[in-house]
Structures are given as structure tokens and as C-alpha cells.
Amino acid sequence: MARIVECVPNFSEGRNKEVIEAIVDEVRRVNGVKLLDYSPDEDHNRTVVTFVGDPENVKIAAFNLAKKASELIDMRVHKGGHPRMGATDVMPFIPVSDVAMADCIEIAREVGKRIGEELGIPVYLYEDAASADYRKNLADVRRGQYEGFFDKIRQQEWKPDFGPDEMNAKSGATAVGARVPLVAFNVNLGTSNIEIADKIAKTVRFLGGGLRFVKAMGVKLEERNIVQVSMNLVNYEKTAVYRAYEMVKMEAQRYGVPVVGTEVIGLLPMKALIDCAEYYLQIEDFSIDQVLEKRIVE
Amino acid sequence: MARIVECVPNFSEGRNKEVIEAIVDEVRRVNGVKLLDYSPDEDHNRTVVTFVGDPENVKIAAFNLAKKASELIDMRVHKGGHPRMGATDVMPFIPVSDVAMADCIEIAREVGKRIGEELGIPVYLYEDAASADYRKNLADVRRGQYEGFFDKIRQQEWKPDFGPDEMNAKSGATAVGARVPLVAFNVNLGTSNIEIADKIAKTVRFLGGGLRFVKAMGVKLEERNIVQVSMNLVNYEKTAVYRAYEMVKMEAQRYGVPVVGTEVIGLLPMKALIDCAEYYLQIEDFSIDQVLEKRIVE
């Protein structure tokens, strides 16, 4: 099992189980890819699908998913709490093992071209696959959402990378990209004061002058009567998990608030945690090839 | 690649390259197993081989190795610095993935029986596979070494578990066992005073009243003019790497000596490091199944 790419498409349907299963079946149907997870969210009316496999089969499954979503989802009647612009809203390709970012960019371009030309859906390349710097950030690409895209698409700077220059009313538009794996990492604080979590979040995140690859916000955990700094680490190789953790802890000290625990949400690559063990244990000259499982997967 | 067992046999030949290659070829010859490493040691006149695979094929390769070693190694002329009692001196089976310790004990019994009966070599089961508590510790089993075994084997309490009740003059005796993976972990201290490393080693190890699954000794690193507490963690699940590290650091403080770095020697299981990341990052309710690579290997 040499080369592995991960794909995490998000679809604008989180309530109709038949539709969700029919879409996910497109992953199950392809040999050489493995469905790792799918989590429908009723409030957001959105489903996140995670699958992995060799590059060729991931491309096939990814296109088939987008095709099935374009058949079964109608954006004209979609309502939900999460920002979205299309039936297949966003489709990132992520290098996992023996695959370079350049390969994932190439995959994003190929799949994006097919979605654009064969399905007639405007496609925007984003993150590492973006055709221009201002298109890198998904939030910038998606700003205006489905409803606003009928106008936005007519602006020269928002001409799609692939597909028609007009909005697809039924399927919307799709962002296809390549990126490093996201790590969702939350730090729980020993206080119920949400202002403290908010202030810390603003300090540690990129937007507030904090760490380059950290997005963060304060969240209240009602059941436990504590608050949390909820983070997305968008490049764990450059902004390591331990650095985000230590910075939250350091900022919490000024309020006399302890870190009572942390959470890793969903999946993360082995290296994100092993980098932390290396740091805290002060290991010299460590190679990921010393990890038994890494050698076996090779 | 669901079920994976590791086997790390040690052979009493570390100088004759032809013999070493002929033995290692027995691993290369079996489909379904993968040779990860082999390191001949000329001073010790001993070679450690590491391979992994599914249980059935690991059994086949392990027996073939012992057979080839019994043909090519003659213990009557063996000299070397490391304690040893046989051509195939020791052969542990180690659970890596989706295999229980009970399975490895069963493998050790099967392979041990074949070595005993088909090769006419006295076999002692050790560690988790031992037939009695006093046979668990390899050092106790091997005490007296090859030369002493001609007498030792006649004592009722050292009757072999499998094979003849008499020593095999050419091949010696073999210890076959099941155990958790060893982690070789060294802590480097910012001093050249070997007495400090020795004292700390004696404090942290089991024998000195320290941690249950730690073996330790002081070592001088001549080139760097520092000393090191060199440890074998014989059960990283029960005595975690971070605990051994923190205890050495704590003991070093009484001498005003800093930890300047650490080393992981050879291979170790992913979980040994991930347990440390979990500890230092205070992660709540973490499951190893959240690690992407773990899910892919399944």
C-alpha cells in the first residue's frame, strides 16, 4: 500500500438518509479506496465524507461522488447553517503517504476539469491548488454563498477555473483543492468565562497576530460548564500541535486559568502526534521510519 | 494487512557474511513476511534479525530460520561478547497489529515444538510464553550460557519445554518466547560525570526500586564528552516512555544536571510515542483509531 491520498468532500445534504447513502455508495463501489468515515450533520444539513486510496482510484471515486450529488441534491431548495455554495460544496485532496502535494494539485486539477466540463458545474481551485493567491482561502472563494454566486461569478476575478462561466442553479459551484491535513484540536479551560476563551482564541490565531496556521474561536461547553479554545491547525507540519497547545496554556496563565484537558476531533496523521512526542521527550535525530507501523505500510 | 506479528530472532553469528546472508535469505524467501532490519555485530559475534508478517507466514519463516541456523552455525567453536546459549539463541514473537498476546504465545509454542522435535534442539519458553514464573526472565533461562547448559539441562527445574532432555552440542539450546515490544530509550545528560548517570540508572530501574518495566545503566559518550542513562523499556504500555523520561529528569535535578537530549534506538511501535503526545497534550478520550495510518493498515 504505497501511495495514499485522502479525499474529504463536503455535500449539501445532511438530513435525507437515502440521498446520503446513495452518495456514499459511490465510494464503496470503487475498488482500491476505503471509506473511513461519513458524518451527516442535520443542523448544518451537510455531510462530510472521508475516504483514502491510491491516486487513480481516488480520482474515480471523487468524480463519481460529485456526479451522484449533482443528480440527487437540488441547491434551489437547500437550507442549512453552514456556509455553502454547491451540492458538492468542497472537495480537498490531501497527501497521506508517498504522495507529494504536487500530485494532489494535479489530482485536483484533473477532477475539477471533469466536474466542470462533464457535469457543467463551475469549479474553483483553492488552497495549494489555487490558480491565484486571492483564491487560496476557501472562505474568500465561498463568500456570498450559493445565493450570491449568480452575481459573483460574473466578476472577472471570480471567473471559474473550469466549467461554465455561469452558475449552475441546481448544483451550485464547487471548490476543488489540495491541502495538508487539518487537525481539529480543542483546549478546555478550567473556567466558565467565555470571554477568556474568546480572548485567548484571538491571541493565538493568525488573524490576531498569533501562529501562522492556526484558526481559533472560543466555545462554551454547556454540559461541563467550562469553555474551550477550539482550533483548526491548517498546517501541522509548520505550526505543530504542541506549539498551539503551549501558546494557549501560556495565555491562559495570565487569567490564572488552568488547561483541564484537550480534544482531538476526528482523524489526524500519525506524524502530528509523533512530532509532539519528539518535542516533549527531546528526542535527537528521530526518523519517522523508526515507527514500526510506518515501515509496514511502505 | 490485518494481523501483524513481529519476530526478532538473535543468531550466534555476526562475522561470517555468507552465513548471515544465508540465514536472512530464509526470511526473504517467504511470501507474506517483510524483512525490516538485520544488524550483524562483530564484537558480540551475533546478528539480530527483525521481520514482520501475518501469523501463519511468520511461523514458517521463523522455523526455516532456526533450521538454517542449526545447519550453518556450530556452537562448539562460537566465541563472542554477548551471553548466548544456542545457534538460534532467542526468538521472541511480538504482537503488532490486531494480534493478541495469547496468539503470540500460541505461535511461540508451535514454533518451539517444531524446533524441539524436528531439529532436536532443547527449547525453553520465556517471557509471556513461559511455562513457569521462574522461566520468564531470559537472563535466568540463559544463565550458565552454552558451556554451562550441558549440566544445567539435567536439573529437573531446567528440563526443556520441548525437544530432547539433553544438550545439542552443535546448536545449543534456544529460548522461544512472546513479549511486548522493547523500546530502547536513552537520556543524555549535560555532564561528563559517569557516576551521576550510574546513580540515576540505579534509581529509575526496577532492580533499584524504580519503575517496574525499566532496565537501565550509565554509559559514557566519549565523543560528545557527556554521559547517558541507557534504558530498555520492556513494557511501554505499562511503564510509558514519558514516565521513564520524567523520572530521569527529576533525578538529574538533584545533581543540578540538565537533560540535553534523548535517543530512540531502532524501531518502536507508534503507540509508544502517541501515548507520550497524549500525556503532554492532556488529550481526553483519545483513541488510536483516530490516527489515519492506523485506519489504513486495518
Question: pLDDT tens track of chain A, all 298 residues?
Answer: 468 899 999 999 999 999 999 999 999 999 989 999 898 988 889 999 999 999 999 999 999 999 999 999 999 999 977 889 999 999 999 998 889 999 999 999 999 999 999 999 999 999 999 999 999 999 999 999 999 999 999 999 999 999 999 999 999 999 999 998 889 999 999 999 999 999 999 999 999 999 999 999 999 998 899 999 999 999 999 999 999 999 999 999 999 999 999 999 888 999 999 999 999 999 999 998 898 887 765 4
Nearest-CB residue to B293 (from A269, A277, A285): A269
- Asked whether the CA dihedral A212, A213, A218, A221 is positive or negative, the reply is negative
Q: Please tell me the predicted confidence (pLDDT) of residue A3.
A: 87
Helices and strands, counts by H and E, chain A: 9, 11
Q: Please tell me the predicted confidence (pLDDT) of residue B81.
A: 76
Q: Let me know whether A11 and A156 are in one domain.
A: yes
On whether residue B278 sits in a domain, the answer given is: no
Q: Let me know whether A162 and A37 are in one domain.
A: yes
On whether residue B291 sits in a domain, the answer given is: no
Q: Let me know whether A86 and A230 are in one domain.
A: no
Q: Let me know whether B109 and B205 are in one domain.
A: no
Q: Let me know whether B143 and B257 are in one domain.
A: no
Taking residue B79's Cβ as centre, other Cβ atoms within 10 Å add up to: 7
DSSP H helices in chain B: 17-28, 55-72, 101-119, 138-142, 145-152, 194-204, 241-253, 270-280, 292-297
Using the 8-state DSSP alphabet, how is residue B46 labeled?
E
Rg, C-alpha atoms of chain B: 20
Q: Which residues of A touch B242 (CB under 8 A)?
A: 277, 280-281
On whether residue B137 sits in a domain, the answer given is: yes
**Given a cut of 90, is residue B293 above it in pLDDT?**
no
Is A291 close to B270, i.e. CB distance below 8 A?
Answer: yes
Q: Let me know whether A87 and A105 are in one domain.
A: yes
On whether residue B296 sits in a domain, the answer given is: no
Q: Which residue out of B82, B113, B136, B143 is catalytically annotated?
A: B82
Give the end of a domain, one of B162, B178, B194. Answer: B178
Q: Please tell me the predicted confidence (pLDDT) of residue B44.
A: 85
Q: Among all residues of chain A, which has the CA nearest to that of B50? A: A292
Q: Let me know whether B103 and B156 are in one domain.
A: yes
What ipTM was estimated for this complex? 0.77
Q: Please tell me the predicted confidence (pLDDT) of residue B161.
A: 98
Confidence bin at B2 (pLDDT 50/70/90): low
**Given a cut of 50, is residue B52 above it in pLDDT?**
yes
Is B259 close to A278, i.e. CB distance below 8 A?
Answer: no
Q: Please tell me the predicted confidence (pLDDT) of residue B298.
A: 45
Cα–Cα distance, B20 to B284 (Å, whole number): 47
Using the 8-state DSSP alphabet, how is residue B169 labeled?
T
Grid-cell match 523508526, residue found:
A290
Virtual torsion, Cα A118, A124, A130, A133, nearest 10 deg: 150
What the block records as the C-alpha cell of A44 is: 448544518
Nearest-CB residue to A280 (from B96, B97, B280): B280
Measure in Å the smallest separation between the Cα of A79 and chain B Cα atoms: 31
Reported residue count of chain A is 298
Nearest-CB residue to A291 (from B34, B268, B295): B268
Count of domains forming chain A = 2
Q: Please tell me the predicted confidence (pLDDT) of residue A289.
A: 86
What the block records as the C-alpha cell of B89 is: 539463541
What the block records as the C-alpha cell of A228 is: 474551550
Cβ atoms A120, A163 nearer than 8 A = yes
On whether residue B116 sits in a domain, the answer given is: yes
Give the end of a domain, one of B125, B150, B178. Answer: B178
Q: Please tell me the predicted confidence (pLDDT) of residue B97.
A: 81
Which region among A272-276, B38-42, B270-274 has the lowest average model confidence (pLDDT)? B38-42
Which CATH number fits the domain that encloses residue B36?
Answer: 3.30.990.10
Measure in Å the smallest separation between the Cα of A245 and chain B Cα atoms: 7
Q: Please tell me the predicted confidence (pLDDT) of residue A266.
A: 84
Q: Let me know whether A66 and A169 are in one domain.
A: yes
Cβ atoms B183, B244 nearer than 8 A = no
Give the end of a domain, one of A178, A200, A216. Answer: A178
How many contacts (CB atoms, under 8 Å) link A and B? 147
On whether residue B290 sits in a domain, the answer given is: no
Q: Which residues of B touch A293 (CB under 8 A)?
A: 96-97, 269-270, 293-294, 297
Compute CA B74 distance to the chain's CA centroid, rounded to the nearest angstrom.
Answer: 23
Cα–Cα distance, A275 to A273 (Å, whole number): 5
Nearest-CB residue to B259 (from A97, A282, A294): A282
Q: Among all residues of chain A, which has the CA nearest to that of B267? A: A290
Is A292 close to B241, i.e. CB distance below 8 A?
Answer: no
Host domain of residue B95: 4-178
Is A284 close to B263, i.e. CB distance below 8 A?
Answer: yes
The catalytic residues of A are 82
Cα–Cα distance, B245 to B272 (Å, whole number): 13
Q: Please tell me the predicted confidence (pLDDT) of residue A170.
A: 98
Cα–Cα distance, A10 to B41 (Å, whole number): 54
Confidence bin at B297 (pLDDT 50/70/90): low
Among the listed residues B188, B203, B201, the one whose alpha carbon sits nearest the alpha carbon of residue B257: B188
Which CATH number fits the domain that encloses residue B247?
Answer: 3.30.70.670
Measure in Å the smallest separation between the Cα of B147 and chain A Cα atoms: 36
Is A280 close to B242, i.e. CB distance below 8 A?
Answer: yes
Angle at B204 between CA B202 and CA B205, to 5 degrees: 70
Q: Please tell me the predicted confidence (pLDDT) of residue A1.
A: 44
Is A270 close to B266, i.e. CB distance below 8 A?
Answer: no
Which residues lie across from A162 on neighbouring strands?
A123
Q: Let me know whether A138 and A228 are in one domain.
A: no
Using the 8-state DSSP alphabet, how is residue A108 labeled?
H
Using the 8-state DSSP alphabet, how is residue A283 labeled?
B
Is B282 close to A270, i.e. CB distance below 8 A?
Answer: no
Task: For residue A294, give the 3-state DSSP assignment.
Answer: helix
Q: Let me know whether A17 and A157 are in one domain.
A: yes
Q: Please tell me the predicted confidence (pLDDT) of residue A298.
A: 45
Q: Let me know whether A171 and A187 are in one domain.
A: no
Q: Let me know whether B8 and B46 are in one domain.
A: yes
